[in-house]
Homo-oligomer: A and B are copies of this chain.
Amino acid sequence: MRARFTLADIQQHALAIVDRDGLVGLTMRSLAGSLQTGAMTLYNYVDSREALEELVVDAVSALVEIPEPTDDWLADTRAVATALWRTFRAHPAAIPLVLTRRTSSRASLAPAEALAAALARGGLDGVDLFVAFRTVSAFVMGIAQNELAGRLSHEKDPASAAQRIEGLTQGVLPTLAELAPIGAAFTGQEFERGLTIILNGIQRTPRPASSRRTPHV
């Protein structure tokens, strides 16, 4: 028999289901239904549910629009991080998958390579490059999780989180009480400004003597 589907078909339908119905909506049967076939047919393309999820991670990673390098490594680093952030924003339900799986496929490593390369163009290498790379990517992952994936399980009230915190907060958690309304009013710029903090930190953190090799910017 000729193969009816391609992996790309499966990725596309699976991601569409995740976007529409969330992670719980993606089951072998629901995906099979979307492809108008039987659940077991999928096992001709995919080893397991687990492998299917890696395929979704790949599909999401492939959507990251990696920018062309310029001669400004700072702007490039920003651009790669922002491209990741935009993709996460477009597919928030898939974030837990992206954060959890270690695919090591080409598609999922390409954004990491672009990020590391941009930082390397800034003069970082060795352990310093590694640390900077890890820091930026941890920030992007973490804030995606906090900002985007959190909203999925919300009840209905858009600002209910802030209100719930305020309710719990009376006097016991004074700093959070101050922060909650600010956060509610401020959505959207924290990624950009947090990234600025990190990039400034990368530029202005002296390297320990043990890891110094070449002078950097």
Q: Is the interface of A mostly helix, strand, loop or mixed?
A: helix
CB distance from A200 to the nearest CB of B (A): 4
Residues of A within 8 A of B (CB-CB), count: 67
Q: Which of B96, B110, B164, B189 has a CB less than 8 Å from the CB of A104?
A: B164
Instruction: Say yes or no: A176 contacts B112, CB within 8 Å.
Output: yes
Instruction: Say yes or no: A146 contacts B137, CB within 8 Å.
Output: yes
Instruction: Say yes or no: A161 contacts B100, CB within 8 Å.
Output: no
CB distance from A56 to the nearest CB of B (A): 15
Known: A142-B145, A198-B135. A109 touches B153 (CB 8 A): no
Instruction: Say yes or no: A149 contacts B109, CB within 8 Å.
Output: no
Instruction: Say yes or no: A146 contacts B150, CB within 8 Å.
Output: no
CB distance from A116 to the nearest CB of B (A): 4
Interface string of A181-211 (1 = CB under 8 A from B): 0110010011001101111111011001000
Interface string of A107-138 (1 = CB under 8 A from B): 00110110011001000011101111111011
CB distance from A79 to the nearest CB of B (A): 16
Binds B, one of A2-10, A13-21, A40-48, A165-173: A165-173
Count chain B CB atoms within 10 A of each CB in A132, A164, A168, A176 and give the residue with the most: A176
Count chain B CB atoms within 10 A of each CB in A145, A197, A198, A205 and give the residue with the most: A197
Instruction: Say yes or no: B205 contacts A196, CB within 8 Å.
Output: yes
Copies in the complex: 2
Closest to A208 in B: B193
Instruction: Say yes or no: A182 contacts B130, CB within 8 Å.
Output: yes
Chain B residues with CB under 8 Å of A153's CB are 101-102
Count chain B CB atoms within 10 A of each CB in A131, A168, A169, A204 and give the residue with the most: A131
Interface flag for A35 (CB, 8 Å): no
Q: A137-B142, A138-B138 are in contact. List 18 more A-B contacts (CB 8 A).
A: A102-B153, A102-B161, A104-B165, A113-B176, A116-B175, A120-B178, A125-B178, A130-B179, A131-B189, A138-B139, A138-B141, A138-B143, A138-B145, A139-B139, A197-B198, A197-B202, A197-B205, A201-B204
